[in-house]
Amino acid sequence: MNAASAAPAQPAPNQEAPAKQALMREARAHYALGLSEQSAGRMDAAIAHLDAALRLAPDFPEALSTGGYILQSRGHIAGALAFYGRAVELKPDDFTSLFNMGGLLLGQGERGLALDCLSRACALQPRHAGAAANYGAALAEIGRLEDAVEHLRRALALDPNLGPAALNLGNALMRLGRYEEAHRAYALALALRPDYLLAWVGLGIVAKEMGRFDEAMAAYDRALAIDPNSIETRGNRGCLQLLLGDFAEGWEGYEDRWFEGCRPLPASSARFDLAAPETIRGRRILVVNDHGLGDSIQFFRYVLLLAQAGADVTFAAPEKLRRLLGGSGAALAWRDESDLSGAFDAALAISSLPRAFATRVDTVPAPIPYLRADPALQARWREKLAGPGPKIGLCWRGSQDFRVDPRRSIPPEALVPLAAAGARFFALQKDATPEELPEPLRPHVQFFGAGYDDGPDAFVDTAAIMAELDLVISCDTSTAHLAGALGRPVWLALRHVAEWRWMTERLDSPWYPTMRLFRCGAGDDWRGLFETIAGEIARGFPQAIRGEPAPVVPIWHIGE
């Protein structure tokens, strides 16, 4: 072997350039032909030319972007995203690819990636109405509603004829509780496009929130005239009918409460009649939990009716509810809520049971209590809660990730009047800290510490605590349902137009005989409502303590 060998020859810098330039010229020719075929609507021919262009020049961002658009138009989302992504890698300031990719990602639920793409698109073309509109929609999806409103208004200023921006503006404003502005936004969307189904649905929802029920029903009827099969329309119309006490029609519409593709099992035609035992006795019935914990508690009464009437009931429900609901003593088979296997005579969602029983306002089954606290836990909490004055449980918010929560939760500052009520308050609130409450109220409220009701069995300690309280005051959340199902005195604080199950104007509930409803007036004056509630506490509890903070209860962890 020679001691030295020649190094590999390196091509001269300009040696490859002519060949590459020739390939690129040919690629651009195919690209131009592809654009021409696309403009003529001959998509197969357009794709063939774009393929040829990309074989010749794989790093051709314009061809990648156009190819992504054609794939998107044909419903090939994954391929379109791959093309747009590669185009942006090669050309970071490719507005078209960023804009289109952001819209696709938003539709796929990839909110973070969508925000990044659309933010960059807006920076590249600040006066592009579509980019501002899509960015606003993405901001709304992650809950940045004020920012969303700003960008959606900007989009409409740039293009007053942009109907989807008006629709999304209405949606964002409604979630902020700015109903008059939302109403105007939906009206604008409909002025631009009178057959805009989702705008009619939005108008119906916001009119309902404003207490304009006739207008809401008329909007839903217009939407149904456009599309009689619209589940968004039928579901919202059904909830309005239930709110107004029309249970006969309302339950039918309520069957469309799920978004498209989210129904846990096919609609059931099953009907049950306690006066005709043969409709129930001996039948194998699968009941599937389909909503949140509050719905499970509210409608569990129907599961008990089936079991007591002789049905062989299997309840597919979250495991964390089994100890609480199992304390009812009913003979039930339990399984995971995702397990729908097996042969049954009827299978239906728990929230469909009122329809199956043909429930009307005056026939709501209310065998209170139908849930009971664990006696051993109750005895242990009795000792912990002992002390002077009325003992009142307090729950001011629901789940913080629930989209409706800003409208059903109570602003903590509105609770200040309770400080003068002379009661001992106990926070029946998961993940709550004293810092959530305004300073004047903190000395009067005791917290149970980190991990409160956070074990594998939901609500078992809360139920035991409630059994030892004189009263529960709650916003519209599962805590209120639990108190009602236990037969405990419960005062429910509601916004002016509440959820369907609390109907309108009533101060009581057919669902829970021990419940009293306190409703905000128009404008949702929560502070004024709690001044009323504080006065009712003072009148209703002669043993109230005057001018003294509540004694502190030692932290006692769940299940101890």
- pLDDT of 10 reads 39
Which residues lie closer than 8 Å to 113 by C-beta, 6 or more apart? 105
* Average pLDDT over the chain, rounded to an integer: 88
What's the fold here for domain 277-363? FAD/NAD(P)-binding domain (3.50.50)
pLDDT at 544 over 70: no
Where is mean pLDDT largest: 326-330, 345-349, 383-387?
345-349
- pLDDT of 11 reads 39
557 vs 506 pLDDT, higher one: 506
Length of the chain: 560
pLDDT at 338 over 90: no
Q: For the residues 531-558, what does the mean pLDDT come to?
A: 68
Q: Is there a common fold for 25-193 and 277-363?
A: no
**pLDDT, tens digit (0-9, with 9 covering 90-100), for 193-232:** 999 999 999 999 999 999 999 999 999 999 999 999 999 9
Q: For the residues 68-85, what does the mean pLDDT come to?
A: 87
Starting from the edge strand earliest in sequence, which strands make up the sheet with 471-474, in order? 445-446, 424-427, 391-395, 471-474, 490-494, 515-519
Choose the weakest-confidence range: 61-70, 208-217, 335-344, 425-434.
61-70
**pLDDT, tens digit (0-9, with 9 covering 90-100), for 452-499:** 777 778 799 999 999 999 999 999 999 999 999 999 999 999 999 999
pLDDT at 300 over 70: yes
Distinct helix (H) and strand (E) counts, the chain: 22, 10
What CA–CA distance (Å, rounded) separates 232 from 73? 25
Domain ranges of the chain: 25-193, 194-262, 277-363, 375-540
Q: For the residues 395-411, what does the mean pLDDT come to?
A: 73
Q: For the residues 172-198, what does the mean pLDDT come to?
A: 97
Q: What is the DSSP string of 376-442?
A: HHHHHHHHHH--SS-EEEEE----TT-TTHHHHSPPGGGGGGGGGS--EEEE--TT--GGGS-TTTG
Res. 547 pLDDT band, cuts 50 70 90 = low
Res. 548 pLDDT band, cuts 50 70 90 = low
Which helix (H) or strand (E) segment holds residue 49: the answer is helix 43-56
pLDDT at 31 over 80: no
**pLDDT, tens digit (0-9, with 9 covering 90-100), for 425-457:** 999 988 888 999 999 999 999 998 777 777 778
Q: Which CATH class is domain 375-540?
A: alpha beta
Long-range contacts of 307-312 (CB under 8 A, 24+ apart): 307/331, 307/332, 309/272, 309/274, 309/277, 309/280, 309/281, 310/277, 310/280, 310/281, 310/282, 311/280, 311/281, 311/282, 311/283, 311/284, 311/285, 312/282, 312/283, 312/284, 312/285
pLDDT at 183 over 60: yes
- pLDDT of 29 reads 75
What CA–CA distance (Å, rounded) separates 354 from 191? 39
- pLDDT of 20 reads 63
Q: For the residues 302-312, what does the mean pLDDT come to?
A: 96
Query: Angle at which helices 77-90 and 95-107 pack, to 10 degrees?
Result: 150
Choose the weakest-confidence range: 399-403, 435-439, 456-460, 525-529.
399-403
402 vs 41 pLDDT, higher one: 41
**pLDDT, tens digit (0-9, with 9 covering 90-100), for 234-281:** 999 999 999 999 999 999 999 998 755 566 677 788 999 999 989 999
- pLDDT of 8 reads 38
What's the fold here for domain 194-262? 1.25.40
What's the fold here for domain 25-193? 1.25.40
pLDDT at 145 over 90: yes
